[in-house]
Chain A
């Protein structure tokens, strides 16, 4: 099992929701408002007057074979417009109950 952590511009909400359904990811946890800043070019998302945009984030624990299609979808989504921004991070799950 792997944990997939996706952080994305709120403007991508609809797409992410659709993607989860599309990839058959049923379980996830979702943070509606998340602040952040890209490592290289990504603009800050702070929900302030200066940087009004905000991110959302979700974490989904998925079987190993689902990780690849998810990352591919994320990549496709990001390529629509990189300015908007969506990122995915994956790591191992040691145990689950």
Chain B
């Protein structure tokens, strides 16, 4: 028994199955997390090795190189890059997208084991880091305070961080730039010299005095007591009363030679929010957790906590990624609703029957809910990709139901009974319905097979559309005939129509269009010689517009956030950098009322290390984040503001380098930024620097090239102490012992901790600033020899000023300098082309290699992928059609409309000034499916009419007229469905506008052309073929004629 027959005969079972599917779908929907993009695990692994005391060049040779050499052979490695800094080497491995990162990590660890022996002895064991999107913070808060500032860290730790950590799904809450309490013992060099004391002695005294020692048990009577010596400091003020030595019979107290400050650590990193001292609090989630839910939970929790905080502490939200997600998703959901409405209206307009419309649109929720089940089962989320996929699917899922219902209606109108008509009408069309679905699947299934970042995005799209369309087909041949058999009304054939009812208004209009089209079609068929060249001309001229359409990689979304990097002359003190930053902040406040929060971070965190992986910092560098008001409340886009800010920054003479970037909703962390990088490979620093500087100068002149940055920073001034080895030996000293002493004096020596309420604070002993702030004073430092003598540093060597490169980068194990360029208002492809010209014109020494990478490289890579994808889709579509029609020529006839749809897309992109990017290209792949579907409907019907014995032209004219409405309906549901998408201006809309435009343009253009091109091509291709076929058949059955003539 066939599926549709069972469905009609067992309506309750059918109903219940669909109700069950819908219930599961709704349940899945409520369980799905909401996110911006599908979860992406960027295939990066970093290996970080610390080697204290070595400069960048040493690190490069002794640490980075051996590690690189060994790791270069790890499986599935795509690219190896490295950066060697002072004290630290970072090797970053990029793997292929399909690589299993856990395996990769263990491979890397194994390989590192081999290297360990060849690394310098003092180098620490390399650490392996795996990047994860959940490491990216989902929320940023700024915390400012006045008089509670010094205790801020403790207050936040106890009240805020602990409370937030309890929220389900929170990954971590981290605080950056918190003031740390320390106890400084600032020693005066002259006084110490006078009393013959050294820093080390004092440090040891402090450590020795600050002890709690368990000293055994004491038994008294029946009890057993623990004996403890409690020597630890209870307060920092005790420290200055310590006895540190004896000179000429007099006791010397610490307060005589030093000042003790219980304070917050000296700043080398200045965190400010709106000019007030503050710190940043970052919240990140566990992978797979629901960003939107967590963000709202965090906000709710913070509201609860706020009243318990001291009143001067202000917690402000700087960035909340959930807001953008929420807005994008609600925008897209709104779009989806509009689409739903449009589809209903189109169906109603063409069919003019309430009940029919209701039966058809029931397939929409069923198919969409099925997609949600897929998302839930595979552990995906509701994100802009899945919602965009649904909005693509929504126009397609009604098509099958329309075909089935139309045929049922025809049977019912002929006077058949409802139940029988439903069964037999479905029987007539179910095969062709499945065939068109296969065509759509042929377009979308290849999408699920792409690798790389695009693959992650398109996989969902491919599956969702395929699942939705397949579900809709199943629904069309089960629940639609079932509902039709139950709820459709048999209308008497010769009833009266209302004067302004459907039949007399819309019906007449549609009849008029039908007749008009039939006329045009028959004219075209008889004037092929005019029509074909005219079509070719239209095609070529619209393809020509492609030349003027810019090419981008990914659309940039306005997230209402800007980041600026300001760099002053190398070696500038933090305090000086801050002054410039404050001034710039003032300018921003005046000129850009859109900016709500400015949070800046100037200087470098002295903990260094890991943070260096993410951003460049130094005492001369400031990173500033601006948060803007919501998109709807401002006129200027984030990109315009960035452009204007760049102009403002240009005016500062002290700023030698700057960049302003509009933070965009990039995919996979860093790779979402839309930039081109020019890579200069070469060993010689001077030569590569020169070429880089020259290229930068020239690229700066390109219109639209912004944020031109050279990766290699300027050489940094450095003070080096050069020891005279002979003198060291005379005093029984070694380089290492002296350098340790110098470190104790300048950087400070940690002599135990001050313990208070369970928290430990460092006690740092070092020279007071006045004794260590010039070369001369450094040379005046006293170190002690093993014999107890005291000797000035000046006696042992010289302090000299040097310049050294702060970082050395490698790519593919070679030294590299990159110049990165962000396009501003000009497409990526255009700028890349201009840069290529510049490179060709610039004189480059032979041993250097210059190439273009960055997003441009991704762009080219994905263009190739896209082309391959398109080819594969076309082939699959051809295969499906060829087997459906059992013919090689019919698929060709239909596929003639595909180039026209592309031409239409280009034209639309050109007319709207939109650039072509991955998403627009995706739209074009979708077009293949929709356009071909229309063609199939038409050709199938022509074939049918001819098989039923009609003449070629008659068949074409009849089919054209009869299939015009279904074709228009399919096209209109999709075009109108995409319209809200193409016109939307809300948050995140930049991402899908290009797709909307390319689909609308392509579909409008190609629908008009399909209706002419396909019939005309059909006429040309099949004319002689059919005649020959008839002749052949006559020949085979010649014996009949012979019989006749024989008589």
Contacts and interface: CB of A to CB of B under 8 A. Distances in A.
Interface of A: 10-15, 49-54, 80-81, 83-84
B838 interface: no
B431 A49 contact: yes
Interface stretch (B291-299, B412-420, B918-926): B412-420
A75 to B, nearest CB: 15
A11 B944 contact: no
B432 A11 contact: no
B420 A14 contact: yes
Contacts of B420: 10-14
5 contacts: A10-B420, A11-B421, A14-B419, A14-B420, A81-B415
Interface residues of B, number: 17
Nearest to A79: B415
B411 A11 contact: yes
A10 B432 CA distance: 20
Given A49-B944, A50-B947, A51-B948, A84 B416 contact: yes
Interface in B104-128: none
Most B C-beta atoms less than 10 A away, residue of A11, A13, A14: A11
Contacts of A13: 420
Interface string B420-437: 110010011101100000
A21 B431 CA distance: 35
B419 to A, nearest CB: 6
B432 A14 contact: no
B930 to A, nearest CB: 23
Contacts of A50: 944, 947-948
A12 B414 CA distance: 11
A11 B948 contact: no
A12 B416 contact: yes
Contacts of A81: 414-416
B938 to A, nearest CB: 15
B431 A11 contact: no
A14 B417 contact: yes
B648 to A, nearest CB: 71
Contacts of A15: 417
B53 to A, nearest CB: 83
Interface string B353-378: 00000000000000000000000000
Given A11-B420, A50-B948, A52-B429, 17 more contacts: A10-B424, A11-B414, A11-B416, A11-B421, A12-B420, A13-B420, A14-B417, A14-B420, A15-B417, A49-B944, A50-B947, A51-B948, A54-B424, A81-B414, A81-B416, A83-B414, A84-B414
Most B C-beta atoms less than 10 A away, residue of A14, A52, A80: A52
Nearest to B940: A49
Contacts of B428: 52-53
A11 B424 contact: yes
Contacts of A11: 411, 414, 416-417, 420-421, 424
Contacts of B419: 14
A50 B432 CA distance: 12
Contacts of B424: 10-11, 53-54
A51 to B, nearest CB: 7
Q: Which 10 A-B pairs have the closest CB atoms?
A: A81-B415, A52-B428, A50-B947, A11-B416, A80-B415, A11-B420, A14-B417, A81-B414, A11-B424, A10-B424
A10 B421 CA distance: 9
Nearest to B417: A14
A43 to B, nearest CB: 8
Q: SS class of chain B's interface: helix, strand, loop or mixed?
A: helix
B337 to A, nearest CB: 38
Interface in B429-447: 429, 431-432
Contacts of B415: 80-81, 84
Interface of B: 411, 414-417, 419-421, 424, 427-429, 431-432, 944, 947-948
Contacts of B421: 11
Nearest to B428: A52
A52 B947 CA distance: 12
A55 to B, nearest CB: 11
Q: SS class of chain A's interface: helix, strand, loop or mixed?
A: loop
Nearest to B432: A49
A54 to B, nearest CB: 8
A13 B427 CA distance: 15
A86 to B, nearest CB: 11
A92 B420 CA distance: 32
B989 to A, nearest CB: 45
B414 A52 contact: no
A80 B432 CA distance: 29
A30 to B, nearest CB: 15
B5 to A, nearest CB: 11
A97 B421 CA distance: 39
B825 to A, nearest CB: 55
A84 B416 CA distance: 8
Most B C-beta atoms less than 10 A away, residue of A49, A53, A83: A49
B950 to A, nearest CB: 11
Nearest to A47: B427
Nearest to A52: B428
Contact of B427 (A12, A52, A83, A84): A52
A52 B421 CA distance: 13
A11 B944 CA distance: 21
A88 B414 CA distance: 20
A15 B429 CA distance: 23
Contacts of A52: 427-429
Nearest to A51: B948
Nearest to A50: B947
Nearest to B411: A11
Nearest to B945: A50
A5 to B, nearest CB: 21
Contacts of A80: 415
Contacts of B948: 50-51
Contacts of A12: 416, 420
Contacts of A49: 431-432, 944, 947
Contacts of A51: 948
Nearest to B425: A11
Contacts of B414: 11, 81, 83-84
Contacts of A54: 424
Nearest to B407: A52
Nearest to B423: A10
A54 B947 CA distance: 17
A15 B414 CA distance: 14
Nearest to A81: B415
A13 B5 CA distance: 13
A68 B944 CA distance: 40
Nearest to A44: B948
Nearest to A15: B417
Nearest to B414: A81
A32 B419 CA distance: 17
A44 to B, nearest CB: 8
B922 to A, nearest CB: 34
B951 to A, nearest CB: 16
A27 to B, nearest CB: 24
Nearest to B416: A11
A53 B947 CA distance: 15
Nearest to B430: A52
Contacts of A10: 420, 424
Contacts of A53: 424, 428
Contacts of B947: 49-50
A54 B421 CA distance: 12
A53 B415 CA distance: 15
A87 B287 CA distance: 71
Most A C-beta atoms less than 10 A away, residue of B427, B429, B432: B427
A49 B434 CA distance: 13
A12 B416 CA distance: 7
A22 to B, nearest CB: 15
Contacts of B411: 11
A80 to B, nearest CB: 4
A89 B726 CA distance: 131
Nearest to A18: B417
Most A C-beta atoms less than 10 A away, residue of B424, B429, B432, B948: B424
